[in-house]
A and B are shown apart, each in its own frame.
Chain A
Amino acid sequence: MRHSLLEVWLGLPQSSLEASVDTTRLLDQLESLDHWGYYSSGPTASEPAAWACVALALHGRHMAAERIARWLISIQQPNGAVGITANQRTPTWPTSLTILAWIAIASRDTPESRAKYQESIRRAIRWGLAMRGRVIPKSPNLGHDTTIVGWPWAAETHSWLEPTCFYVFSLRAAGLKTHPRVQEGIRLIVDRLLPGGGCNYGNTQVLGQTLLPHIQPTGLAMMALADASIRDGRVEASLQYLSHTIQKDLASSRAIPTASLCFGLLGLTAHRRRPPAADKWLQAACEQVQRQSPSTYKLALLALAAKENELLSELYQF
């Protein structure tokens, strides 16, 4: 039996690459939910709501996206911030993602309707630009540059990789790529790449020991650095880490960690490195998620990862 190069590379029969994601079913399910949580049993929360809004808007489910966008506006505080849930006004790290959600829906709206989001976007951006991670003096105990300002998870704490990625990505989508805060955010993300590629949750080395890479933060970092003209070998090493690990560990796992798979694929897609078997893995993850209680968060990420175009370029239509 002859095998194509693709089959050999992936270790899969070619027929298995032809699976496609049943996005209609996925989006129908996402659209039907009126509770936007990480889990069906948890509270509606800003992050899953924002990702769901982005996914529905980019897939053309305008009315469903608008419903969520309006809810996010309803919980925006006068200072522009959006808390983690309707009841918990702090911390405000999801503000970045609500910017993304409003941009996604406004970019698909008529110019007249678009205006209703512009004020919310403006106030959220103002809040985001004022939010700064706390710097600490450089220490030989820590491998990263502790003086670079990014974004924290909670006020008055250090800058961390993932909230910085959220803001860099959102502010770039808002057309602020050259803003000094965005540029410094990009610098922070590059600084936090591990020497051999990939990202830990934020630290690189502690007390001389290099930490372990993980798929989700690496995928987010790659999303945020897409088309940022970074000439650093660790970016390529990070992409290779994502390709290798997703294929080797996630795809062969009996249970697929949905968020990691989706962020990993979003990161690769952002650099035009989407694996040929991406849809097959996503469909397997969809089936797994659909067997569980519905999770807005997971369904939204799956719908986003199912898009073959780079996310940021779609949002630039705004």
Chain B
Amino acid sequence: MSAHSQQGDRLREETNRSKGLSRRAILTAGGVSAVGLTGLGLARQAWLPTAETFIAKGQRYDRPLVQTIREGLRCCNVQPTWFRGKRVLLKPNLVEPTRLCPHMTTHPAIILAAAEVFRGWGASVGVGEAPAHVRDTEMALIESGVGEALREGDLSFADLNYEQVASRRNRGCRSTLKEIYFPQSVLEADIVVSLPKMKTHHWVGMTCSMKNFYGVLPGIKYGWPKNVLHHHGIPQTVVDIMATLQPTLAIVDGIDCMEGDGPIMGSLKHMGLIVVGRNLPAVDATVARIMGLEQSRVSYLNLAADWLGPIDERRITQRGERWQAVASPFEILDVEHLRGLRAGPLLS
């Protein structure tokens, strides 16, 4: 086995540790079932996954973000040595960019800063995206300003909508999809980093690092929008992609965010935050709390909970700022299917 693949395995093991525990926990719990329900409950609690998330406040696009991201990753026990010689794919959110609405898409400064961090740690870094709505990816790059940033940062871009594809067995099995098709750049990456925008979502409440991975699936196979996934259930397919795509990291653009009718037509909400983590359900659950949403009522987080990662605050170690200190409720549409998402009394 080459040093390259050994490092890749270590990266996977480290990233899987928090995800995989729940599966082992279930087996272990099965083994001790004779002890009784109380014992089982305690054993399960002890084995449930934990994770760290990092929050930085007061962030701006025109200030150095590299240090924030680097420190955030280190605070979440991400080791720089894991990345030497690795291929890192950065996945921003460029769903349907228009220069009229820059708060819809991941800001280019976040992409450049993340690239600098991983390059500094010895990785080769590329950027990839399969815009979910627009077929002209060149247009998406121009409208979002990301194309210019890529040239500035001498970063390669993979148009994930049109690459060679290959299937992988659906490891999540929450939807009826037997397999999931990924583009070549995603399959060849040692780690895929979700760089989402912190936004509301008019169907599922919020979109962050997990939902952002809809954008690694190729439009040529799933359509524009990726309607195949919608027909198999948005929450189910979000966790299926997450379960099948490993390992991953999240760096959330929470500086200029979107509230109201997200993920496309909402309003700007300035938060000034960067949120970082190795476990995506934990990151998204933390972001949900900041947005004033009850994380367990966000359908895909509920599906992922205690399996792909923790969403319960008690099992997420907060680094940097406390989420309570930066929380500010996001406006959500007043529609039936979103009404239950709002957390109770938000801040006591």
Give the complex CA separation of A160 and B333 in angstroms: 25
Residue of A nearest to B338 (CB): A207
A window 169-209: CB within 8 A of B: 200-202, 206-207, 209
Give 1 or 0 for each of B218-244: 1 = CB within 8 Å of chain A CB. Answer: 011111110110110000000000000
Contacts of A216 in B (CB 8 A): 134-136, 139
B220 and A84 contact, CB distance less than 8 A: yes
Contacts of A111 in B (CB 8 A): none
Give the complex CA separation of A207 and B220 in angstroms: 27
Q: Which of A45, A88, A158, A217 has the most CB of B within 10 A?
A: A88
Give the complex CA separation of A134 and B225 in angstroms: 15
Give 1 or 0 for each of A208-220: 1 = CB within 8 Å of chain B CB. Answer: 0101101111000
A181 smallest CB distance to B (angstroms)? 20
Check B48 for interface membership: any CB of A closer than 8 A: no
A298 smallest CB distance to B (angstroms)? 8
Q: Please report the number of residue pairs spanning A and B whose Cβ atoms sit closer than 8 angstroms.
A: 103
Pick from B20-28, B51-59, B157-165, B318-326 the stretch touching chain A.
B157-165
With A157-B231, A255-B138, A258-B138 known as contacts, the answer to whether A84 contacts B221 (CB < 8 A) is yes
Contacts of A214 in B (CB 8 A): 96, 134, 136, 139
Give 1 or 0 for each of A75-93: 1 = CB within 8 Å of chain B CB. Answer: 0000000001100100101
B223 and A154 contact, CB distance less than 8 A: yes
Check A153 for interface membership: any CB of B closer than 8 A: yes
Contacts of B136 in A (CB 8 A): 214-216, 257, 259-260
Contacts of B265 in A (CB 8 A): 206, 209, 211-212
Residue of A nearest to B218 (CB): A84
Check B312 for interface membership: any CB of A closer than 8 A: no
A217 smallest CB distance to B (angstroms)? 8
Contacts of A154 in B (CB 8 A): 221-223, 227-228
Q: Which of B98, B142, B162, B264 has the most CB of A within 10 A?
A: B162
B window 89-106: CB within 8 A of A: 96, 98, 100
Residue of A nearest to B223 (CB): A153
With A160-B223, A201-B133, A201-B134 known as contacts, the answer to whether A257 contacts B139 (CB < 8 A) is yes
Give the complex CA separation of A231 and B225 in angstroms: 29
B202 and A206 contact, CB distance less than 8 A: yes
A91 and B162 contact, CB distance less than 8 A: no
Check B335 for interface membership: any CB of A closer than 8 A: yes
A39 and B162 contact, CB distance less than 8 A: yes
Check A253 for interface membership: any CB of B closer than 8 A: yes
A contact set with B: CB distance below 8 Å: 37-39, 42-43, 45, 84-85, 88, 91, 93, 134, 141, 152-154, 156-158, 160, 162, 200-202, 206-207, 209, 211-212, 214-217, 253-255, 257-260
Closest 4 CB pairs of A and B: A153-B223, A257-B139, A38-B162, A157-B227
Question: What are 27 contact pairs spanning A and B, CB under 8 A?
Answer: A38-B162, A39-B162, A43-B163, A43-B164, A88-B165, A88-B221, A134-B231, A152-B227, A153-B222, A153-B224, A153-B228, A154-B222, A154-B223, A154-B227, A157-B223, A157-B228, A158-B227, A158-B231, A201-B135, A201-B225, A206-B202, A209-B265, A212-B96, A214-B96, A214-B134, A258-B138, A260-B138
